[in-house]
Amino acid sequence: MPLHRLRSLCGTKRLIVTFSARIGHKFELKRGVVVRRETARVYAMSEQPGRPDALATAQDPESLVGDTLRGLRGLVVGIANEHSIAYGCASKLSGFGAELAITYLNEKAERYVRPLAQELGAELILPLDVEQPGQMEAVFDRIAAEWGRLDFVIHSIAFAPRDDLHGRVVDCSLAGFQQAMAVSCHSFIAMARLAEPLMKSGGSLLTMSYYGADKVVNNYNIMGPVKAALEASVRYLAAELADDNIRVFAVSPGPLKTRAASGIAAFDELVDAAVRRTPAHHLVDIAEVGRVVAFLVGTAASGMTGDTIYVDGGLHNVA
């Protein structure tokens, strides 16, 4: 129904129509103005007497999970367990309707990852150790064979040898630096190269960073320069792939208690300091990170690329 026709129906208190066949969003007429269903729901609930909490309920982000990513297919790399940032992302992407391919590091990790992937309805569950020659290519070959295309990639892996991670940057070994860069940074570049031919209609590539890439953070050590290289790679990839409508982002959460983070020396102290300094005095969780990732993957973020998006409750803004 044309927009002008909807406006002419302003005598109708509330008319629900299908506004976009492609996306399938519902819209409502509110005093002659077409608004999104969620927005109309806020109006309607806030007008109900005896419902002081109605507005808060309507704005609860969990109540807005729908099918805004339905039809999209994506690869999620980096799930180790239910506390992983990658799992928070996969959960929200699946909740918004996306179809997923999920990888696990090795046989030991598979027994934790496979049940989680199955709960999310992942169509493909594949092994991927980026340090093993040919494994990454095998994952993308399988996606090409099964799906024929790819709409997004979530890269959430990082590694540095313990001695190099716990030591000073000035003492980092060449081998340790090369391994940290290969796993944490170059693997994202390699995934971008393999994903490009599968994203003929555009897509998005996302990786995880940390504000230690921009500021000196105690005990983050060699991962600071490595994440800085990753964020720079995001900017260059975004510029190179823009003509193909492939958008690229780094997402930078605050400190989260994940298995990977446990390798950082004095991590509990870092977390306690972050809680004290964050304006809201609490840390974000993996679900909040996942919602931002789902937004970036969707068409609502079509005008964005090349950015590092902070999801840390404002921590990076505090001196």
**Region class of 128: left (phi > 0), else alpha (psi between -120 and 50), else beta:** beta
Count CB-CB contacts under 10 A for residue 44.
15
Q: Hey, which residues does 203 pair with through a beta bridge?
A: 246
284 pLDDT more than 90 = no
Whether residues 92 and 122 fall in one domain: yes
Count CB-CB contacts under 10 A for residue 99.
19
Of 38, 63, 88, which residue constitutes the final position of a domain? 63
Of 63, 93, 109, which residue constitutes the final position of a domain? 63
Whether residues 177 and 252 fall in one domain: yes
pTM more than 0.85: no
Whether residues 44 and 166 fall in one domain: no
Of 14, 41, 63, which residue constitutes the final position of a domain? 63
Whether residues 99 and 156 fall in one domain: yes
Question: In which domain, by residue range, is 290 found?
Answer: 69-317
User: pLDDT tier at 317 (50, 70, 90 boundaries)?
Assistant: confident
pLDDT tens per residue across span 77-116 = 999 999 999 999 999 999 999 999 999 999 999 999 999 9
Whether residues 217 and 190 fall in one domain: yes
Return all residues near 113 (Cβ < 8 A) that are at least 6 apart: 79, 80, 81, 102, 103, 104, 105, 125
Q: Is 214 or 61 the better-scoring residue by pLDDT? A: 214
Whether residues 108 and 52 fall in one domain: no
The verdict on whether 211 is a catalytic residue reads no
Whether residues 48 and 115 fall in one domain: no
Q: What angle do CA 272, 275, 277 make, to 5 degrees?
A: 110
Of residues 233, 92, 206, 114, the one with CA closest to residue 151: 206
Q: Select which of 104, 112, 220, 310 is catalytic.
A: 220
Residue 266: per-residue pLDDT: 62
User: pLDDT tier at 48 (50, 70, 90 boundaries)?
Assistant: very low
pLDDT tens per residue across span 121-154 = 999 999 999 999 999 999 999 999 999 999 999 9
Q: Is 6 or 226 the better-scoring residue by pLDDT? A: 226
Whether residues 135 and 48 fall in one domain: no
> Average of pLDDT values for 223-234?
98
Whether residues 151 and 213 fall in one domain: yes
The verdict on whether 220 is a catalytic residue reads yes
Separation of alpha carbons 20 and 36, rounded Å: 11
**CATH classification of the domain holding 137:** 3.40.50.720
Residue 155: per-residue pLDDT: 99
Whether residues 203 and 172 fall in one domain: yes
Whether residues 306 and 250 fall in one domain: yes
Q: How many domains does the chain have?
A: 2
Whether residues 212 and 285 fall in one domain: yes
pLDDT tens per residue across span 58-81 = 455 554 555 789 999 999 999 999
Q: Select which of 87, 210, 211, 310 is catalytic.
A: 210
33 pLDDT more than 50 = no
34 pLDDT more than 70 = no
